[in-house]
Structure 1
Amino acid sequence: MVYLYVGIAGFLGAILRYLIGISFFMNSSFPYATLSINLFGSFLLSWLTTNFFKRFSLSSSLKTAIGTGFVGSFTTFSTLSVETVELFESGRFLIGILYIFVSIAGGLLMSRLGFKVSMEEQQS
């Protein structure tokens, strides 16, 4: 049954990611959609795993569906990789390197922020 939950949540995460991409970042020459979605997803997964899942005592199937299915399909490393290669192929090496750095460092910072926010929520 967990496979069905992951599939449904994955469908929802992928659709949301697509809608955000076409709604806010359609004609951008920089991959803002992937960057912003991955940064938010880093925060979201950290916050969910350190606060939300514990606070509401969710089943392991539901945790897997939300974490792996929804957030996993909402964020994407493969698109980051392809977009970076496209930046390099178009001669935009500095932008590509900056994109990688901001994606990785920003993802770690957003995960840390999600953790800190959830710890503060638990204390109040």
Structure 2
Amino acid sequence: MPLTLLSVALFAVLGAWARYGQTLLVQTLFGRSFPWATLSINVFGSFLMGFLFFLTLDRVSISPELRTGLLTGGLGAYTTFSTFSLESLSLFESGETMRGLLYIGASVILSLIAALLGAFLSRNLGA
């Protein structure tokens, strides 16, 4: 158990740094008029979750502690559902109902597609 907790904590730091770095990059490239950074993080994080979950379940053997650290700590800190919720609320409160609905729909649909794609790729590597 202590090794699992350490692994979760270590990967959480790395996931948070990755999230922050991607936020800075995407906001620099695309601005802040739409929550592109959070959307890109949630979609890519969903892809990584689908890919790494099945890759480490079916194809690559890693320790349970490392797997939990990577998936729970790393991707848990990297993805941004609480930020997504706040940004959605902000769009609605500022009267941008259609943008809010677009953001929610795009986040859910694209993230699900990304998770499915990640799962598909990890299950079919070299097949």
- Pick the TM interval, shorter chain: over 0.9
Aligned-residue identity in percent? 41
One-letter amino acid matched to 1:98: L
Map 1:82-97; keep pairs closer than 5 Å. Answer: 82-97=86-101
Q: Is the 8 A contact 2:13 2:74 kept in 1?
A: yes
Q: Which runs of 5+ in 1 are unaligned?
A: none
TM-score of the two chains, using structure 1 as the length reference: 0.93
TM-align CA RMSD:
1.3
Residue 81, structure 1, aligned to residue 85, structure 2:
yes
Map 1:1-124; keep pairs closer than 5 Å. Answer: 1-26=3-28, 27-123=31-127
- Cα distance in 1 for partners of 2:54, 2:63 equals 15
- Cα distance in 2 for partners of 1:111, 1:36 equals 13
TM-score of the two chains, using structure 2 as the length reference: 0.91
- How many equivalent pairs are there? 123
* Higher deviation after alignment, 39-48 or 26-35: 26-35
Q: Which runs of 4+ in 1 moved over 3 A?
A: none
After superposition, give the CA deviation of every residue in 1:79-120 in whole Å (9 maximum; x if it has no partner). 000000011111101000110011111111111111111122
